Amino acid sequence: MTRELPMVHSARLIESGYKGNWSLRERAFDPLQKIGEALPPDSSVLLHELNPRLGLSAHVVNDMAGLQSRIRYGLMDSPREVYDLYRELGITHIVWAKKKSIGWDLLAADLRFFEFVQAVDSPETSGSFYYGSMPDEPPEFDSSHIVLYAGYGPTFEPGFFRVRGMNVRDRQPKKIPGFKPIPEDDGEKLDAMREVDFIVHGPKCKNQLPRPGAGFTLAATRRRGQIWIRKRQANAGR
């Protein structure tokens, strides 16, 4: 969170008193402190893939795989299912890293989470984080399932997958094939990209794809790959 060694960050905090830089001491827990100050009382925050929480001063729901078992994005079939679960858990606000996944959870989980947060209307920023209120109404996105995977890791063969088919751990005995291969013709690749909701590839992928068009947004980077998701508007269909 500090983008510098803890020892260096601590030394800066210690010397701030000697230098009379009191503001540094008052902002010791930014960027989460800024978010906490903006939250209304009795907020319940979904903190995505992040365990430190000092500064938020709010009830926190953590979704990190391995640290909890209630939230399983990869087993959800639509943004509406994510919305319903969040409402069940009493979540009022969401905090997540700007366009980045730490790759802790499964690829399918990243696809579903980053698709859902497009429903957050006008998220604010604080340091390396986005934050915003839960949507008042369920997303009206069509349930989406098809992924064009251009292959940057050891788990999947390049091809077309359904989101649930990517709900598997890395380091499988052999690469998992998709239900359909990627076409070789560039024109056919462009046609295929218009028909899917998710595109996963990277600049150094062997099966290189054209850059996704204006209908997609770069939602996050994951290790050496990029996750592109079809653009959605809050409470709007495809």
| Boundary (domain end) residue, out of 90, 111, 133 | 133
Q: Are residues 45 and 111 in the same domain?
A: yes
Confidence of residue 86 (pLDDT cuts 50, 70, 90): very high
Q: In sequence order, which residues have a C-beta less than 8 Å from that of residue 164 and are 6 or more positions away?
A: 74, 75, 77, 108, 145
Q: What is the per-residue pLDDT across 38-63, written as a single tens digit (0 to 9) for each? A: 999 999 999 999 888 888 889 999 99
Average pLDDT, the chain: 87
Output the CA angle 76-78-79, nearest 5 degrees.
105
Same domain, residue pair 158 and 197 = yes
The verdict on residue 1 lying in a domain is: no
Based on the domain organization, do 79 and 180 belong to the same domain?
no
Average pLDDT over residues 141-155: 83
Give the number of other Cβ atoms within 10 Å of residue 114's Cβ: 23
Indicate if 64 and 127 belong to the same structural domain: yes
Q: Is residue 236 one of the residues assigned to a domain? A: no
Q: Which of 104, 133, 162 is the last residue of a domain?
A: 133
Domains of the chain: total: 2
**Same domain as 98, residue 40:** yes
Containing domain of residue 27, as a range?
6-133
Same domain, 119 and 25: yes
